[in-house]
A and B are shown apart, each in its own frame.
Chain A
Amino acid sequence: MHIYLDLFLTFAKVGICTFGGGYAMLPILQREVVEGKHWATDEELNDYFAIGQCTPGIIAVNTATFIGCRLKKAPGGIIATLGVVFPSIVIVTVIAACLSNFQDVEAVQHAFAGIRACVCILIVNAVLKLRKSSVIDLPTAILFTLVFVASIVFGLSPALLVVVCGLIGLGLSRFKKAQHGDANAEDTPADGDANAEDTPTDGDAEARR
């Protein structure tokens, strides 16, 4: 089969099998992409997933773009992504079209009242799950509380809060490094700096290759 068609169909299959957030996609990717097509190893898949989580955008889309891109450069990335979203667009459009005809029916309204109660809990559960990786110490706990309050009480824009918190994270690490440097005095003065220099340089080297 043509590789692009294969990419599209495989990721369309992944899209159909995923319910909920991108986290639900990992086991399906393992089955289809690693065991089925041998397009990546388990380790590589974990790396892609980690990068997908910490780059802007939906995790599922990021991961699909990444795998497609590693396989067939930019066109591969685009085709894989279109594959993963294609079933969603079709299915959701059909449901939305049907629903607008039915949403005045009393039973449908009752059903949605029940579903809304359920969704509240699903969101609560998602937040509880996130806590393990997000609120790991006191500063992050404070950030969480501040954002929560700022969002509910003052209705500040999420975009603004995200950007500010990213900068605060950067600032906090600088602050920590400065403290760390003072504590160690002159024993390892260049340590923090050396580490900071290291990584970007390696990244550049990788890019040049």
Chain B
Amino acid sequence: MIYLQLFIEFFVVGLLSVGGGLATIPFLTDMGQRTGWFTLDQLTNMIAISESTPGPLGVNMASYVGYETAGIFGGAVATVGLISPSILVILIVAAILVKFRDNKHVKAVFYGLRPASMGLIAAAGWSVICLTFFTVTQGAGILPEHIAFSWKCIAVAAAVFFFTHWSKTQKAHPVLWIALSAVAGIVFEM
């Protein structure tokens, strides 16, 4: 049953992704490969749409993946699955509250969790970068036979990197860069 499966999959994501919505990306990459619900290519589009629509990134991703997989009801089920662990955990934590953050053991666990979370996001970012910037033609062996660079994509990415770090424009909203990149994509026929 697809709805139950969606609920369970996103429940696990909600339970194990610590940190912002980007922390859900490695789990979604994994989910796409296992279930075949979406490809990495589609996932990248989903990230773009989730970044440029209102609402927390993780929730948008869940709604989108759920909708693509099983329609309107699927989107709602996936989102509820994603937020259920939060609600349960927070209700428990709220009861214990205040000292939780300063607890030594909790701090120790998060000391290990944070770099792990960052490593996973970086790895997910790397697979998206490979997909976007290179077209790899697989040769006979493990080594690729031919690697083609998508220079237009690299140029747009370089421009975005520059403007998001330039002190005069770095505070601008990400939606602006997404919109401008979309225009660049159309103009340069990327």
Q: What is A's interface to B at a CB cutoff of 8 Å?
A: 15-23, 25, 47, 50-62, 65-66, 69-70, 74, 77-78, 81, 84-85, 87-89, 91-93, 95-97, 99-100, 107, 110-127, 130-131, 133-135, 140-141, 143-148, 151-152, 157-159, 161-170, 172-174, 195-196, 199-200, 202-204, 206-207
Q: Could you say which of B44, B86, B180, B182 contacts A58, with CB atoms under 8 Å apart?
A: B86
B112 to chain A, nearest CB (A): 2
Asked whether B148 is an interface residue with its Cβ less than 8 Å from the other chain, the reply is: no
Place the interface of chain B in its size category.
Answer: 35 or more
Can you list 30 A-B contacts with CB-CB less than 8 angstroms, sorted by A residue number?
A15-B54, A15-B59, A16-B54, A19-B52, A20-B174, A21-B56, A57-B82, A58-B82, A60-B56, A61-B58, A85-B59, A89-B76, A92-B49, A92-B64, A100-B68, A116-B45, A120-B157, A121-B157, A122-B51, A130-B117, A134-B118, A146-B119, A151-B120, A159-B27, A162-B120, A166-B113, A169-B113, A203-B99, A206-B97, A206-B98
Selected from A93, A111, A143, A158, the residue in CB contact (under 8 A) with B112 is: A143
B8 interface residue per 8 A CB criterion: no
Which residues of chain B from 75 to 128 have a CB within 8 Å of any chain A CB?
Answer: 75-76, 79, 82-83, 85-87, 89-91, 93-128
Task: Give A108 Cβ to nearest chain B Cβ, in Å.
Answer: 9
Alpha-carbon distance between A131 and B114 when the two chains are bound, in angstroms: 9
Q: How far, in angstroms, from A127 to B94 measured CA to CA in the complex?
A: 29
Complex partner residue of B126 from A152, A204, A206, CB under 8 angstroms: A152
User: In the complex the two chains form, is B115's CB within 8 Å of A135's CB?
Assistant: yes
| Contact string against A for B residues 15-33, beta-carbon threshold 8 Å, 1 for contact and 0 otherwise | 1111111101111001000
Does the CB pair B110–A115 fall under 8 Å?
A: no
Q: How far is the CA of A95 from the CA of B61 in the complex (A)?
A: 12
Interface class of chain B by DSSP = helix
- Distance in angstroms between the alpha carbons of A116 and B66 in the assembled complex: 21
B151 CB → nearest A CB, Å: 11
The answer to whether B108 and A65 touch across the interface, beta carbons within 8 angstroms, is no
State how many angstroms separate the Cβ of A81 from the closest Cβ of chain B. 6
Contact between A148 and B122, CB atoms less than 8 A apart:
yes
**Shortest distance between the CB of B160 and any CB in chain A (Å):** 4
A200 close to B20 (CB less than 8 A): no
In the assembly, what is the distance between CA of A20 and CA of B164, in Å? 15
